[in-house]
């Protein structure tokens, strides 16, 4: 009797999952560099660069030097000066491979590999993360959501004008649009206005409250292309220890995402690729 119940339960679960997968494969665009298209029924989800690949690739010490070169072109501020010094040290100290992975490196490596066409970012601030993506994919269309609060984190936060200047330095040629206001309101409005836009990469680094971060993830997760990457910052921050739980609850628990968390050093960052 127990075996029959067990079989019935998983037959039902698999049927629901197959139907969801079939529907998504028809309606959701695929990331061109990270998904193998097929006209035949798929036996598995053909992702080319899963998060575990990104982890191994990001260990290559060459990225430390490339990132340091990029940071040297950024407008100086206390955090930039600190992280430049840190990258200088690990570039010298990590001889064969480097297991330090932060938001900067994740954005750098993923954008270099999958060359995104559309990128969405919550928490733009002065445009460093956007510039990283633009540096590796200059034709990428950028969509930035922020409130540009005055003197955020004790540093001047002049708004989208400075972001545009940073994108110019990265030789960005794609379209760029900024949405000023509370992302819990502006993103749902954006989705209503542009119901057919999907993204190759989405980075969430905005509201760091439990409910704010949760809402941001829920609002954007269905906008990701199959094979696209979702990036969530600060999952190892001692100031926001609950963000790792938000990630687990909203993203890691889903059956159509593969995830990887990098919480060994620094502030932590978590990534996920959509498989269907």
pLDDT in tens, 50-84: 999 999 999 999 999 999 999 998 888 888 999 99
How many degrees, rounded to 5, is the angle at CA 203 between CA 229 and CA 181?
145
DSSP track, 34-70: SB---SSPPSS--BSS-HHHHHHHHTBTHHHHHHHHH
The pLDDT of residue 157 is: 74
String of DSSP letters for the chain: -HHHHHHHHHHHHHHHHHHHHHHHHHHS-B-TTSB---SSPPSS--BSS-HHHHHHHHTBTHHHHHHHHHHTTSPP-HHHHHHHHHHHHHHHH-SSB-----HHHHHHHHHHHH--SEEEEE--TTSHHHHHHHHH-TT-EEEEEE---TTGGGS----HHHHHHHHHHTT--S-EEEEES-HHHHHHHHHHH-TT--EEEEEE-S--SHHHHHHHHHHHGGGEEEEEEEEEE-TT-TT-TTHHHHHIIIIIT-TTEEEEEE-SSTT-EEEEEE--
For residue 273, the model assigns a pLDDT of 98
Domain 101-274, CATH? 3.40.50.150
* Residue 247: predicted pLDDT: 98
Task: Count Cα neighbours of 26 within 13 Å in the Cβ-side half-sphere.
Answer: 7
Report the C-alpha gap between 100 and 58 in whole angstroms: 8
pLDDT score, position 14: 82
Q: Which residues pair with 120 in a beta bridge?
A: 143, 202
Q: How many residues does the chain have?
A: 276
Look up residue 267 and give its two tokens: 């502030």
pLDDT at res. 265:
85
For residue 151, the model assigns a pLDDT of 64
- pLDDT < 50 positions in the chain: none
Please tell me the pTM assigned to this model. 0.93
What is the structure's pLDDT at 77? 86
Cα 225 to Cα 95: distance, rounded to the nearest angstrom: 36
Contact 201, 4 (CB under 8 A): no
Cα–Cα distance between 98 and 96 in angstroms, integer?
7
203's tokens:
């980075």
pLDDT at 155: 67
Residue 105's pLDDT is what?
Answer: 98
How far apart (Å, rounded) are the C-alpha atoms in residues 110 and 255? Answer: 22
Strands 118-122 and 141-146: parallel
Parse the chain into domains and list their residue ranges: 101-274
- At residue 154, the pLDDT reads 63
């Amino acid at each position: 009797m127990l075996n029959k119940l067990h079989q019935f339960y998983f037959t039902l679960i698999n049927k629901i999952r197959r139907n969801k997968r079939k529907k998504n494969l028809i309606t959701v665009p695929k990331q061109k560099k990270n998904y193998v298209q097929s006209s035949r029924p798929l036996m598995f989800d053909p992702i080319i660069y899963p998060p575990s690949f990104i982890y191994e690739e990001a260990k290559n010490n060459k990225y430390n030097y490339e990132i340091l070169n990029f940071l040297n072109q950024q407008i100086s501020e206390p955090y930039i000066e600190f992280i430049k010094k840190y990258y200088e040290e690990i570039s010298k100290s990590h001889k064969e491979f480097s297991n330090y992975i932060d938001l900067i490196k994740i954005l750098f490596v993923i954008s270099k590999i999958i060359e995104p066409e559309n990128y969405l970012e919550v928490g733009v601030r002065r445009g460093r993360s956007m510039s990283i993506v633009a540096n590796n994919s200059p034709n990428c269309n950028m969509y930035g959501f922020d409130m540009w609060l005055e003197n955020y984190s004790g540093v001047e936060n002049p708004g989208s004008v400075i972001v545009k200047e940073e994108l110019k330095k990265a030789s960005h040629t794609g379209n760029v649009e900024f949405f000023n206001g509370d992302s819990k309101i502006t993103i749902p409005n954006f989705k209503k206005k542009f119901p057919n836009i999907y993204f190759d990469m989405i980075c969430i680094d905005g509201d760091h409250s439990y409910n704010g971060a949760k809402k941001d993830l829920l609002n954007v997760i269905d906008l990701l292309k199959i094979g696209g990457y979702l990036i969530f910052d600060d999952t190892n921050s001692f100031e926001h220890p609950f963000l790792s739980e938000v990630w687990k609850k909203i993203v890691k628990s889903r059956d159509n995402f593969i995830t990887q968390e990098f919480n060994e050093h620094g502030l932590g960052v978590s990534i996920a690729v959509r498989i269907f």
